Structures are given as structure tokens and as C-alpha cells.
Chains A and B, each alone.
Chain A
Amino acid sequence: MPDPSDKILSSLDAALKRSAADATELVYIGTRDATTRFAENGIHQNMLSSDGRVIVRLMKDGRVAVSSTNDLSTSGLDRAIADALEIASFLAPDAAFPGFVRSDTAPVVNAFDPAMDSCPPERRAQAVSHIVDQAKPAGVQASGLFRLTTNRVAIANSAGTRQYHQETVAELSVSASDDPTFGQGWSTGVSHKIDQLDPKELGRIAIEKAVRSRNPQALPVGEYTVILEPAAVGQLLLFLGFLAFSGKSFAEGRGIFSGKIGELVTGANITVHDDPFLAEFTGMPFDYEGVPKRKMALIENGVARGVAHDSRSAKLAGVESTGHALPADNPRGAYPKNLVMAPGDATLNDMIASTSMGLLITHFWYINYLNPMKAQVSGSTRDGTFLIENGAITKPVRNLRATPAILDAFAKADQIGRDRVVYPQYSAAMYVPAMKIAGMTFVEDTE
């Protein structure tokens, strides 16, 4: 379809002019979602949905209110503005709200693949067949997701900000399993361009791992050296982000980094940035308040360097917004969605070869908070856990529950991977390496 930016921004402009508020911000979020799910070596769910909504945030006499609608007609937008005005009329003035500002137009990033925006379901089915055709002769069941989304975001506020971004995202995730023998494998890939995903290769990785992990052996719980594949590192980094990188909790004095900026918080070999301009996977170049993004340091050589702010938490902290606002109807506050961990110089094989006794972990499942004050989480290993003895993988082992304190775990990283992969989770994308950690505690055998 033709680029709809002019039409969307014109509609927002017109609605802004009709708004009776003192200041108004309109955020359009449009999504086209074409998802094929497969299980038992076949497609079982297949769908296409399209939606667009506008989030209204406005200020009247110092009062701030939010509403949203997916009725994008003139009357629908006017009703949403009227809703927000009505809400505002009941509220007290909000002294903590910094108001809307005019932001420079953010640079355009190339993240849109026209071929994906109009991709027919037959192409998704073809990708699935490439995976299933490998799974059947290997005697395993393939499951997974092939999801193609087109996201469009437009922002207009009465201070003069105008931003527009469109992107396509292709995500392919494959699980392979052999239930009688408890063999499990998994792989995932994500790209802005559909042709850059390789279903055959992702299928091969998952299937080979499922075959290798058949008949896993029980292992005593306790502390083990672990080698985390990149997805497992990404999962821990994501939860660290929730706890440590949020400007809202930081400004309120509840964050892990509150009072710790400039201090060593983890290993000196750990550096984490938020970088939406990463060549491997660009992100939206502005936030949901229209503030342009930039690469920013969160942890540098183990030292806490910063947190992600929106305008509200920035005002509370006495700093400028870092361009990390989420949509205004989200109560959680700012969050960095393009986390990048600096690489080391080790290959995965180097890590395995240098390990006398340890575990290789594909990824974790159901990580959740255990003790947020210590950035401690609980989660079980999944889809392939292997014992390493004397520098080589010797056998698959049953899944175990780990309870790492994330910063403490990263502080014990004695090797970091040279190669990194993009790992998507919960609408964030992380670019992460593998990591060898000298000691992680496992508290339960999960089977």
C-alpha cells in the first residue's frame, strides 16, 4: 500500500486544531498482524488482523487526562478528545506534568519491507513446510510462530512536534520436541526484511537440539558454571531492564540504580547501551512523546551510567527526557526497548572448551521476580540443557530452576561471546552475546 504518513498526520493535525484543550498530544499506532502458528507438524492457527488507534493526552487548566479510541473518523477522534476533556475537568492540576514540547523531526530509519506488508498466507505456509519437512524424518514434532507485522506510529502535538515511523517485523520461532524422550529444541530469528529469515536454518537448529537432548538425565541441584546462549542472556537483561533501567522507579527512589549512578554495579566486562540505530535491527527513532532517540549508555564497564526517562520521570529527576516514553495509557513509565550488550572475544566453542564442569542453557522459561530489591528472579531452563564435562558437551540434563540475582550473575561473567544475535521479547529487541558465568544456583529439578 502507498505510504499513508501524509494522510495520518493530516488527520491528527486537523483533530489537534479542533481540540479545546490548552495543549494536546495525539499518538496514532497502527498494526497489521499476519500470524501463522504451527504445532504437531502442521498449521493450527492462522490469522490476519488490522487495527489503528489514537491515544489522546491533553492538558486543560493544568489538568492532564488520557483517552484512546480506534474510531478514527472525525467524530470518533472528537469524541476521544471530549472524553479526555471530561476526565480532566474532574481532576486537580497536575504539577508533576512537564507539558508538551516541540521536538526536532527524527531521522528516518530504513525498517520497512514492502514485500512483507502484502505477503500472502501461502508464503508463511511455505516457510512452515520447510521446517516440518525436516522435522518429520527426524522423528520430532515442530511447533512455532511465523509472524509478520507492520507497525506505523505517528505523533502530533500542539507544540509543533510531528513524527512518523513505519516498520515491518518478521519473527520466526521454532520449537522441536520428541515427547516420549523429552527431547526439546528451540530457535528464533527476527528481521525487518522477510528474506533475511531462513526457515530451513532455524528449523535445523531447533530439530538438531531436540534430537541431541533426548533422554535428559537428572542432575543434583546446586551451583554450576553456566554458559548461557544469547537468548538466555537476553531474558535476564530484559528483566534487569524492568528493575534497573526504568526512569520512573529511579526517580521515585525505588530503582536498582537509584543513588548508584557512577558506581560499579556489576562486572567490569559488562557494557549495555540502548541503541535504536543499531545496524542489525533498528528501532523506532523517537519515543511516544515524539522525542528523538539517541544511543545512550546504561551500564559502562560495569558502572551504572543512566536510566531511561520520559518527560515526566525526567522532570522528577531534574534531567532531560532520554526519549523512552511508552504510550501515554501505559502506567509503567519509560523503558529502553533496544538493549545492546557489548561483545567479548570468546566463541561458544571457546566457552565450552574451557569449562571442566558446567551447563549449557538454551534459554529460560517464566522468569519472574523473586526479590526485586536484589534484582533476583526465578525461572526454569527450557528447550535443551546440557552437561559440559572436561571441555565437551557430554549429555542432556533435565530442566532445572535457577534463582539468579542478575547483576551478581553478570558480575561473575568470565567470558562473553564474540557473536551476538537479535533476540525479541515483550515488544523489545535485544542484541546480545552468549555468556559464561562462574556460578549460578539451581534450586529444583523441574521434572
Chain B
Amino acid sequence: MTDIKAIEEAGSYVAAQAGKAGATYADFRAVAITAESVRLSDGKPDLINRKVTFGYGIRALADGAWGFAATPDLTKASVSDSLREAVQIARSSAKLAPRPAQLAPLTPAQGDYKTPLQTDPFTLALKEKVQYLQHLDELLKATQGINSTGTFLDFRREEKWFYSSAGSVVTQNIVHSGGGFTAAAKRSRREVGERSFPTSGGQYASGGYEIITALGMESACPEIAQQALALLDAPSLTERRTNLILAGDLVSLQLHESVGHPLELDRVFGSERNFSGTSFATPEKLGNLRYAASIVTIESDPTAPAGLGSFGFDDEGVPAHAATLIDKGLLVNYLSSRETAARVNKDSTGAMRAESWTDLPLVRMTNINLTPGSGTLEQLIADTEDGVLISTPDKWSIDDRRENFQLGGEIAWEIKDGKRGQIFKNAVYSGSTVDFWNSCDRICGPEEYRIWGTPSCGKGQPGQNMRTGQGASPARFRNVKVGQPA
């Protein structure tokens, strides 16, 4: 059981003793994570798993450089040793620091944040969850030809205690719920039609079990099963240039890969060059680059209800707040930390996040939300004379500067004279980030808007998996290269 009194004592100790230990700034972040995963294959348990982890990390700034030490040992001696270790590491870094770290100003934060939720998923009996997934399996296999299913539910609770030598004291209790299914019609190893719902890898959001019940998985089963059957004999999408309509989940992926990542300011400055790469969106482009068409406005908003990237404070204690990144097509800000924001003379957007207590916070996406336009997806299709609609991401690759990308979805429909036609499998499209976003000529409205959750966004060395959200409606892009050579 988590010893909250010991955590509070440790946090207070680090905040108070940082200066004596040699740090000009230090913060203490304890994290307790409980996760439950329920995965069924063909209605039978594949992996039912419950995981708990607890520990804390101390980040110290000494001689203008950073050090970080993390351990699960909460004894007083260990807390003291870890603070000393973090300072020693910082001093060893200082001799080779690129520049003394300067931090954007921050009023010390005091607060307690809890994910708003109706039903705590950890209070529900596992048996109910298993039975629900078995029910989905039965619903899917009610369609003749569906002979393989995967169904799953995932829940995660993250409790955090943050103390800083600048006087911040913050506690948070963040709950995530996610679920989804796949249905496959298999004739042979190479003859397979497969669909996922609500999207590939499932949909995740902050909130309780009400997130799962609102996904509409039961009612979606017949249609998704039929689509899997249709894909069994569908042709691959062949190469052409055409108008491209992306379903909301693919707009979400496009936002994630070609807006969120290139606007991480640590990445812009080269912090990730050795692994994830850099960004074409270099600082001289701030306020100058016409990143997207004028109908495109994108903001970082960790306060958005139910977003998977929602929280009360980032891992530097910066209160969550919305920040416009692209305003009517113009690049106006980055995702930032206190240190990186200071380098562009701005305040932090509150995007420093760590996967767990073992990890250093990095600049990460929160919820990267594309402001909705108007109309429904069906209206957008009706407005499209010739094009392709692609849904449900299952392929993605983008270069290390986040310019050239090749993404794709499980299913595509030809659009002819405003109507859906032929279904395609192996649907890919490609382009270059700025050209692509400038070709966006219509975005669907609030009725189609959803914050899609990405539960495993990789970054950093050692690798960290962050949970991010992307608010998106379906959107149309003109004259895009789709498909592969026949």
C-alpha cells in the first residue's frame, strides 16, 4: 500500500534540502501506477494482467545542468542519497552542458487534480469485464465468416505527488480507460479481411468505465464484421492522385505525427536527434511559417474533457492550460517545457511529461486538437465529386525531420459523385507535412469531433511511452498521392 505520509515527508525533505545539497532547483515526483489489462482471443483469455508500480524521481539543477535519480526505496536514507546522487549527476553534466539551463518563470503551484469520472473501473469485478468481452466475441461471430476475434479492455490509474524547491505542491489522480476489438475473416494465411473498432488499437480516454460503455462497441459489431468480410476480396488501393478524405482517427494520427511531434520544442532544439530525430519547424519559422491552410487552427489543450492527454499539472508543476500552436494556418507556438520555452522567450505550454517515476520528463504532446469546422462526414462525402475516404490507421512511417510521411488505413472507399463506392484494402497515402496541411480545404464539424487517444507514443532514450490525445473531425485534403503501384 502506498505510504502517503512517507511520500509527503520525502517530498518536503527534497524541496527543503535541495539548496543545501547544492541544487539551485530540485523537484520530487512520486508515482504509483495500477494497471489492469483484460485481453481475450476468440472469447478466451489471452492475457489477464494486473500491474502495480511505485517509486519516485528527483530532478536537480546544479551548476546550470540537470541530474536525475530514481528509485522505489522511500526510506529517509534513500531519499537523501537520491537527492545527493541527482546533484552529483548534474555537476558531472555541467562540465559539458551546452548552456546553463534557464527556466521560464512559474508561480509555485498548489493543487489537487482528479480525473472526473462516474464509475471507477477498478471497482468493477473482473468477471463483468470478461463477460462483456465474451459477449462482443459472440456478437462478432454471429456474422457468418468471422472466424477470429480479439477483444480487450485496459484501465490505468496514476497517482502523483509533486514537490519543488520553488514551493510547488501538487497531487494528481489520473484514470484512463480504453477498449476495442478486431474481427477477422480468414480464408487462408494470405486471404484475410480484418477490421478494428473504434480504431486500430482501441480508443482510450481519461475517465471511468463510462468511457467503455459510450464506445458503442456492441452496436458496431454487425457493421464492422461485414466490413471485414468485404475486405477479404477487396482490391488494394492503387496509386493515383486524388482528393483524400481522412476519417477522424486518421486525422488524429496525422496530427500526432506531423504536427505534435515536429512542434515538440526539445526536439526542435536537437534533444532527440540521436533517436526520434529533429524537426523541420525550426525557431526562425515561428510566426512566419504558413504551416497549414487558413481553416486550420490547432491547439494543445490538456484541460479538454476526457482527453487521453488531459491532466491538472505537467511534471514540472505547470498548471494545465490551452495554447494555440497553429492559428489559422500560421505557426505561432511550440509544445514546451520551462527550459525550452525560455529559449524562444515564451512561457511553458505545460507539456513536460514522464511515463513513470523512473523517467525524466520530456516535452510531449498533451491533447493536440484541430478546431472543428462544419458539417458531417456524409455531407463532406456528398460534397466530393472524386476522391478516396480512408479510415482506421494501421500503417505509419515519417522521416526524422517529420516532413515526408506514408500513412494508411485498414479500409478505404472510393468516392464518386458524392457517394461511397468500391472498398479497398492496403490503403496508403503519402505527402510532405506543410504541403499536405495546406491542401486541407474542409474540416467536419463538432458533431463528428472526438479526442482520439494514443496510448503508446514512443520517445526518448531510454524509451518512454506517453499517452496523448488528438482532437479531430474528418477532413478533406486536395490532390494527394494515394495507393501503391499496381
A residues at B contact (CB < 8 Å): 33, 35-53, 64-71, 80, 83-84, 86-87, 90-92, 94, 96, 120-122, 124-125, 128-129, 132, 141, 143-145, 147, 173-175, 177, 179, 186, 253-255, 258-259, 329, 331, 365-371, 373, 377-380, 382, 399, 401, 403, 443-447
The answer, yes or no, to whether B4 is at the interface (CB within 8 Å) is: no
Tell me the bound Cα distance from A153 to B271 in angstroms.
Answer: 32
B345 beta carbon closer than 8 Å to chain A: no
- What 8 pairs between A and B have smallest CB-CB spacing? A42-B98, A446-B404, A49-B70, A121-B92, A47-B68, A40-B98, A143-B273, A90-B127
> How far is A329 from B154 in the complex, measured between Cα atoms in Å?
13
Residue of B nearest to A371 (CB): B426
Q: Which residue of B lies closest to A377 (CB)?
A: B397
Taking a contact as CB atoms under 8 Å apart, the answer to whether A401 and B55 are in contact is no
Q: In the assembly, what is the distance between CA of A358 and CA of B99, in Å?
A: 42
- Find out whether the CB atom of B400 lies under 8 angstroms from the CB atom of A380: yes
Inter-subunit contact B130/A143 (CB<8 Å): no
Q: Is the CB of B47 within 8 A of A69?
A: no
Residues of the A chain whose Cβ atoms lie less than 8 Å from the Cβ of B484:
370, 403, 443
The winner among A70, A71, A92 for most chain B CB atoms within 10 A is A70
Q: Can you offer 11 A-B residue contacts whose CB atoms are under 8 A?
A: A39-B274, A42-B99, A45-B360, A46-B92, A48-B70, A87-B126, A120-B88, A120-B92, A253-B189, A365-B277, A380-B400
The minimal Cβ–Cβ distance linking B356 to chain A, given in whole angstroms, is: 9
Smallest CB separation, B440 vs chain A (Å)? 20
Binds A, one of B38-46, B305-313, B415-423: B38-46
B72 and A132 contacting across the interface, CB-CB below 8 Å: no
In angstroms, Cα B137 to Cα A360, docked, is 49
Could you tell me the distance in whole angstroms from the C-beta of A231 to the nearest C-beta in chain B?
13
Contacts of A47 in B (CB 8 A): 67-70, 89, 360
A33 x B273 contact (CB < 8 A): no
In the complex, B155 has a CB within 8 A of chain A: no
**In contact, A33 and B89 (Cβ under 8 angstroms):** no
Determine if B93 and A36 form an interchain contact, defined as CB atoms under 8 angstroms apart: yes
- How far does the Cβ of B395 sit from chain A's closest Cβ, in whole Å? 6
- How many Å lie between the Cα of A56 and that of B397 in the bound state? 36
Task: Out of B70, B96, B272, name the residue touching A132 (CB < 8 Å).
Answer: B96
B347-387 with Cβ < 8 A to chain A? 358-360
**Is B275 part of the binding interface, using a Cβ–Cβ cutoff of 8 Å?**
yes
Candidate in A36, A66, A86 with the most chain B CB atoms within 10 angstroms: A66
Residues on the B chain within 8 Å of A255, using CB: 189
CB proximity of B408 to chain A, nearest CB, Å:
7
Using Cβ atoms and an 8 Å threshold, which residues of chain A touch B403? 446-447
**Which A residues are CB-close (under 8 A) to B69?**
47-49
Q: Which residues of A contact B88 (CB under 8 A)?
A: 120-121
Determine whether the beta carbon of A50 is less than 8 Å from that of B71: yes
Which chain A residue has the least Cβ–Cβ distance from B426?
A371
A128 CB contacts on chain B under 8 angstroms: 96
CB pair B274–A444 under 8 Å, yes or no, is: no
Distance to closest chain A CB from B3 (angstroms):
11
Query: Which residue of chain B has its CB nearest to the CB of A379?
Result: B397
Partner of A37, one of B45, B49, B67, B461: B461
Partner of B95, one of A45, A125, A173, A331: A125
A208 to chain B, nearest CB (A): 17
Cα of A147 to Cα of B461 in the assembled complex, Å: 9
Partner of B273, one of A39, A45, A46: A39
B270 surroundings in chain A (CB, below 8 A): 39-40, 141, 143, 177
Question: Which B residues are CB-close (under 8 A) to A254?
Answer: 189, 192
Q: Is the CB of A45 within 8 A of B399?
A: no
Q: Which residue of the partner chain B has the closest CB to A72?
A: B72
B residues 383-441 in Cβ contact with A at 8 Å? 394-401, 403-404, 406, 408, 426, 428, 430
Q: Which residues from A are CB-within-8-Å of B70?
A: 47-51
Which residues of B approach A to under 8 Å, CB–CB?
37, 39, 44-55, 57, 65-72, 85, 88-90, 92-93, 95-99, 125-127, 130, 186, 189-190, 192, 269-275, 277-278, 358-360, 394-401, 403-404, 406, 408, 426, 428, 430, 461-462, 484
Q: Which of A96, A186, A378 has most B Cβ within 10 Å? A: A378
Q: Which residue of chain B lies nearest to A124 when distances are taken between CB atoms in the complex? A: B92
A46 to B50, CA, bound (A): 31
Given contacts A47-B89, A65-B48, A96-B44, contact A38 B398 (CB under 8 A): no
Known A378-B406, A403-B484; further 7 A-B contacts with Cβ < 8 A: A43-B96, A49-B69, A66-B50, A122-B92, A370-B406, A382-B400, A444-B430
Q: What residue in chain A is nearest B408 (Cβ atoms)? A: A370
Could you say which of A40, A51, A83, A186 contacts B269, with CB atoms under 8 Å apart?
A: A40
A90 touches B126 (CB 8 A): yes
Report the separation of the CA atoms of residues A189 and B406 in the bound assembly, to the nearest whole angstrom.
30
Closest to A444 in B: B404
Distance (Å) between the CB of A101 and the closest chain B CB?
20
Asked if B46 and A331 make an inter-chain contact with CB atoms under 8 angstroms apart, the answer reads yes
Cα–Cα, bound, A43→B192 (Å)? 49
Report the separation of the CA atoms of residues A377 and B360 in the bound assembly, to the nearest whole angstrom. 32
Q: Chain B's nearest CB lies how many Å from the CB of A384? A: 12
CB-defined contacts of A69 to chain B, threshold 8 Å: 51-53
Assess whether B53 is in contact with A53, with CB atoms less than 8 Å apart: yes
Chain B residue with Cβ nearest A374: B190
Given contacts A40-B270, A121-B89, A125-B96, contact A35 B126 (CB under 8 A): no
Question: Quick one: which of A124, A254, A370 has the most chain B CB within 10 A?
Answer: A370
Asked if A446 contacts B275 (CB within 8 A), the reply is no
* Given known A-B contacts A68-B52, A447-B401, A373 and B269 have beta carbons under 8 A apart: no
Query: Which chain A residues lie closer than 8 Å to B359 at the CB level?
Result: 49
Would A46 and B66 be within 8 Å (CB), given that A91-B45, A92-B45 are in contact?
yes
CA distance A150 to B199 in the complex (A): 38
User: A71 near B52 (CB under 8 angstroms)?
Assistant: yes
Contact of A66 (CB < 8 Å), options: B47, B125, B358, B462: B47
Q: Is B97 a contact partner of A44 (Cβ separation < 8 A)?
A: yes
A209 CB to closest chain B CB (Å) equals 14
Bound CA–CA A258/B430 (angstroms): 32
Which residue of the partner chain A has the closest CB to B88?
A: A121
Please measure, in the bound complex, the distance between the C-alpha atom of A373 and the C-alpha atom of B484, giving whole angstroms.
15
- Cross-chain contact B462 with A147 (CB below 8 angstroms): yes
Partner of A366, one of B51, B71, B397: B397
Output the least CB separation between B130 and chain A (Å): 6
The answer to whether B49 touches A329 (Cβ under 8 A) is yes
Of listed A39, A42, A47, A403, residue having the most chain B CB within 10 A: A47
Is the CB–CB distance between A121 and B190 below 8 Å? no
Contact B462 A45 (CB under 8 A): no
Contacts of B400 in A (CB 8 A): 365-366, 380, 382, 399
Bound-state Cα–Cα, A129 to B394, Å: 42
Contact B396 A368 (CB under 8 A): yes
Partner pick for A44 among B66, B125, B406, B462, CB 8 A cutoff: B66
Contact B406 A68 (CB under 8 A): no
Known: A66-B49, A70-B53. A48 touches B85 (CB 8 A): yes
Which residue of chain B is the closest to A33 with respect to CB atoms? B462
A39, B462: Cβ atoms under 8 Å?
Answer: no
State A367–B461 Cα separation when bound (angstroms). Answer: 18
A51 to B357 CA separation, bound complex (whole angstroms): 10
Tell whether, in the assembled complex, residue B406 and residue A145 are in contact, meaning their CB atoms are under 8 Å apart. no
Given contacts A145-B275, A175-B274, contact A331 B39 (CB under 8 A): yes
